[in-house]
Amino acid sequence: MPGQGRRRRCEAADGTHRQLGRGRGALLEPAVLAALADSEAHGYDVRKSIEDMTSGLVSADSGGLYRLLRRLEDDGVVVSTWVEGGSGPQRREYALTAEGRELLAHWLDHLRERERVLSLLVAAVERVVAKD
Amino acid sequence: MPGQGRRRRCEAADGTHRQLGRGRGALLEPAVLAALADSEAHGYDVRKSIEDMTSGLVSADSGGLYRLLRRLEDDGVVVSTWVEGGSGPQRREYALTAEGRELLAHWLDHLRERERVLSLLVAAVERVVAKD
DNA sequence: ACATCTAGATGTGTTATACATATAGATGAT
DNA sequence: ATCATCTATATGTATAACACATCTAGATGT
């Protein structure tokens, strides 16, 4: 498991896929991993990729995005290097590690399950809302 | 808006449907509202309804469930009465108010949007995971 | 000169769970 | 009888994912 004794955010305390609450409702982490799996990028590009991949429905908060990138790096899930030269503010290039690709596969399982739950919930809500 | 100056959990600070993070990732509240829109029920039954409507994928934590029911009552979204007689521990019956039905309609909008986002995210993750 | 975008960053607050633990009334198994 | 399990409600505490605010600094466009 990436990082020191920390379980994946898509897992419960006992290491299983379980409830879909705190941490398990996360969107930002899988979105970041997906953006970087495509190609290495700097932070601001990751933010734009996320906007693209969700057709503009999600606009990641840069505060949280950079914090997450730092944490993922601490956990060995991504690596980064400062880019030399170039104009404008200094930029940092991020890339997934092998562990990061592995983690993304786990997220896929989790996201599919949440998709199912959400579908079931939407259908249930539609049923009772239509009754009025 | 139900309750004193508190926006709905499916809305951002500016009253719009916006990001899908904290509070906006909620599943328990719409599930509870859907369960009670069907018929009034006591707490433990609501918990079972939620398990049924998500085909066993979600098992609501009773600690959080009862806390949420209390908060929804404080906000005028549900009402409750203790049931007289009956065997076993004392039970409390919950029912939606008109405001609760209204809130549920709002949740439907929000859940549909999250469903779209999740579908897009799953598709994006599938695309990059398949590239390996 | 100012607004806006790019690029990265820290501080703080809120909320939805998760996890633990508790009391109490029943039923079922041994 | 005793214990496990279910029913029914509840409080305490911890964690994590954002939201929101604010900041520095280098560019571009008006």
pLDDT for B53-95, tens place per residue?
999 888 899 999 999 999 999 999 999 999 988 888 999 999 9
Amino acid identity, position B29:
E
- How many domains are there within chain A? 1
- Chain-centroid distance, C-alpha B82: 22
Residue B69 located in a structural domain:
yes
Closest nt to A26 (CA→C1')?
A: D17
Task: Give the least confident one: A73-87, A96-110, B17-31.
Answer: B17-31
| Mean pLDDT to the nearest integer, B3-24 | 60
How near does any CA of chain B get to the CA of A87, in Å? 31
pLDDT of residue A6: 54
Cβ–Cβ contact A39 with B under 8 A: no
Residue B59 located in a structural domain:
yes
CA distances from B100 to A38, B103, B104, B131 (A): 43, 5, 6, 46
**Residues of A with CB below 8 A from B26's CB?**
25
pLDDT of residue A19: 61
| Mean pLDDT to the nearest integer, B86-109 | 92
pLDDT of residue B132: 65
> What is the CB neighbour count within 10 angstroms for residue B35?
24
Residue A44 located in a structural domain:
yes
CB contact under 8 A, B25 and A25: yes
The predicted-structure confidence for A10-61, as pLDDT tens digits, reads as follows 776 666 655 665 556 789 999 999 999 999 999 999 999 999 999 988 889 9
Q: What six digits make up the tokens of B70? A: 């209390």
Share of chain A above pLDDT 90, in %: 64
How near does any CA of chain A get to the CA of B85, in Å? 30
Q: Which nucleotides on strand D sit less than 7 A from a protein beta carbon?
A: 7-22, 24-28
Closest alpha carbon within chain A to B111 = A122
Residue A55 located in a structural domain:
yes
Three-state SS annotation for chain B: CCCCCCCCCCCCCCCCCCCCCCCCCCCHHHHHHHHHHHCCEEHHHHHHHHHHHCCCCCCCCHHHHHHHHHHHHHCCCEEEEECCCCCCCCCEEEEECHHHHHHHHHHHHHHHHHHHHHHHHHHHHHHHHHCC
- Specify the CATH number for the domain of residue A101: 1.10.10.10
Closest by Cα among A68, A89, A77 to A23: A68
How near does any CA of chain A get to the CA of B70, in Å? 19
| DSSP letter assigned to residue A20 | -
Amino acid identity, position B25:
G
| Mean pLDDT to the nearest integer, B110-115 | 91
User: Do the Cβ atoms of A58 and A68 come closer than 8 Å?
Assistant: no
Probe site for chain B from A39, A46, A114 (most B CB atoms < 10 A): A114
Full domain range(s) for residue B105: 28-130
The CA distance from A35 to A37, in Å, is 6
pLDDT of residue B94: 97
Task: Give the least confident one: A7-11, A69-73, B2-6, B76-80.
Answer: B2-6
pLDDT of residue A80: 96
Residue B23 located in a structural domain:
no
| Mean pLDDT to the nearest integer, A102-111 | 92
The CA distance from B81 to B12, in Å, is 32
| Mean pLDDT to the nearest integer, B86-108 | 93
pLDDT of residue B26: 83
Q: How far is the CA of B1 from the C1' of C6 (A)?
A: 39
Check whether B15 has a pLDDT greater than 80: no
Q: Does residue B88 reach within 7 angstroms of strand C, measured from its CB? A: yes
* Residue numbers in A 58-97, CB below 7 Å of strand C: 62-64, 66-67, 69-70, 88-92
The predicted-structure confidence for B23-57, as pLDDT tens digits, reads as follows 567 899 999 999 999 999 999 999 999 999 999 88
Residue A66 located in a structural domain:
yes
Residue B6 located in a structural domain:
no
Residue A71 located in a structural domain:
yes
- Token pair 């808006």: residue: B1
pLDDT of residue A2: 40
Check whether B125 has a pLDDT greater than 90: yes
